[in-house]
Each structure stands twice: as structure tokens, then as C-alpha cells.
Amino acid sequence: MPRFALLLTTVIWGATFPATKAALEQIPPLSFTFLRFLLGAALVGAWFLLIKRRLHCGREVLVASAVATVFLFLGYTLQTVGLQYTSASNSAFLTALYVIFVPLLLKRFGGRSLIATAIAVAGLWLLVKPSAAMNVGDLLTLGCAVAFAAHIVCLERFTRVFDAPSLLAWQMAAMTLLFIPITWWEQAPASAFAPTGVLLIALLITGGLATGAFAVQMWAQQVVPAQQVALVFASEPAYAAWLSWYFLGETLDLQGWIGSALILSAVIIGALEPRTKSQPPSAAIPQTA
């Protein structure tokens, strides 16, 4: 059930690509990112108030949230800045390379996992057709993939020790605060924030549905190994390509369909891998000075 839930959340992550692309015709990228996290933080806060759930604010929870937020913030920032210097296809491919970095960070190398990862990377290459030439944008995006991988690893460890909803709430609040000065630096005109239909729908998907997907991810990572989570999330570019093809009329050739099929095959192969024994919760908390 958790793996199936992750697969459904990946559809939502994929939907954020065409939604964001449509919204960016009106509003700069970092300002839009601020709005989506502001909405997400507001929804999570409203959920806590509605069900009268206790928000844990002990030192350990705050430190864990801060560590996870650093990697999440770096991931979004490096991806957004890198996209200014590289193509969308390179960005999509390099970002999804967290499917490689997660097992590297965890030093988990099962035979089935290695095969699934290789198939996924081959499928990603066929789907997004990245350029072989590397530039500064590609290097920044590669850093983004490492940051997202580290975030997935953090969630596996922290959600098994601390209250997952509280971790979610603190991360959403911290991301909103971190993007405030960046939004000011971007200096978007007031017209960029006009509540048009396109912007509102994009915020509903990225700030509403994607926040729910993030919550499901944190719930699932309490039982699903991080390398399997990364493999499931590698299907995100495939869903994004399909949704962009259906809703935005973008082309998807035979090579793209084959690539997306390979990605989904890799997800199925990886999901069948025996559950990895995880460390005891006490050993899963990184040392913080």
C-alpha cells in the first residue's frame, strides 16, 4: 500500500511540471515557488488546527526539520537557477539522477536495485534526450539531484524517529520563510501576482495537491526504503511528459514512449526487491553539533 501511494503521488509531482510551466508565463519562478510553499504551509497549519493535532517543537524535531529543509531548499534553488542556463530536458534528466545518488549515500547496492536503476537511467535518457555537453547550469542541476537525494535519505531516517506531520509542518514553514528574501530579490511586478485562472490552478496543483503528496511521501518513508522511493519518483518525468502531451499538446515521439515504458518497468522491478533491513531508530539520527 505505501508503494502504491507513492506511485500515485508521483503522478501529482508529474502534474506540477505542466502546471508550473503554464504559470511561469505570468510569474517569475522563485516568486511562484514562494507562493506554492506559502499555500502549502497555510494548508498544513489549517489541518493541524482543524483536527487539533499537537505540533511537536522539541529541539530534536526542530534540528531534524532544519537539516531536511536545508537539502530541500538547496534542491529547489539549484534546480531553478540551473534551469536559467541549461535546457529543460537536461534539467529533467539530471534532477532524476537522485535515483543513483540515494543508494550511493546509503551504500545500499542490491542486485535487483542496480538493474532497476540502470533501466531507469536508460529510460530517462531516451525520454528527455539530454545534451551530452555540460555547462554551469548542468552542474547546478546535478547539485540539485544530490540535494534531493539527501532529502529523501533524511526523511527515511527522521520520519521513523519523530512525528512525521510535525516534520512536514516545520519544513513547509521554513521553506516559505527562506523564499521571502529571494522573492524580494527577484522583484516581480505586482501584475505577476494577479489571481488569474492559470495561476490559481497551478497553485492548487503545486501548493495544494503537491503538499498532500509530500505528506504521503513522509508517511510512506516510515516503511519504504529510501532507494525504492527514489526509484518510484524516477517515473515523475514520464508522467510529466504524458500530461504535457495530453494537456499542453507537446510532442512525445516513439523514443519518448519507449523511455517512459522503461522507467515504469524499472519502478516495478525495484518495487519487488525484498525489504531492506534498516538501522534501529536510535542509530538513524545523524550527529548534530
DSSP secondary structure string for all residues of 201-247:
HHHIIIIIIHHHHHHHHHHHTTTS-HHHHHHHHTTHHHHHHHHHHHH
The Cα–Cα gap between 95 and 97 comes to 5
Tell me the pLDDT band of 280, cut-offs 50, 70 and 90.
Answer: very low
Q: How far apart are the first and last CA of the chain?
A: 37
Distance between CA 18 and CA 3 in Å, rounded? 24
The domain spans of the chain are 2-272
- CB contact at 8 A, 140 and 81: yes
CA distances from 151 to 169, 226, 229, 248 (A): 15, 10, 11, 31
pLDDT in tens, 158-203: 999 999 999 999 999 999 999 998 888 888 888 999 999 999 999 9
When computed from its CA atoms, the radius of gyration of the chain, rounded to whole angstroms, is 18
pLDDT at 124 over 70: yes
Closest CA to 241 of 69, 44, 17, 72: 17
Range of lowest pLDDT (68-82, 182-196, 264-278) = 264-278
The per-residue pLDDT for range 9-18, each reduced to its tens digit, is: 888 877 887 7
pLDDT of residue 250: 67
Average the pLDDT over 91-109 and give the result.
83
pLDDT confidence band for 25 (50 / 70 / 90): confident
Please give the pLDDT value at position 248.
66
Residue 129 has pLDDT above 80, yes or no: no
Residue whose C-alpha is closest to residue 232's, from 257, 268, 198: 268
d(CA 65, CA 158): 8
In tens, the pLDDT along 213-256 reads 999 989 988 888 888 888 888 777 777 777 777 776 767 778 87
Q: C-alpha distances in angstroms, 103 versus 46, 92, 219?
A: 36, 20, 20
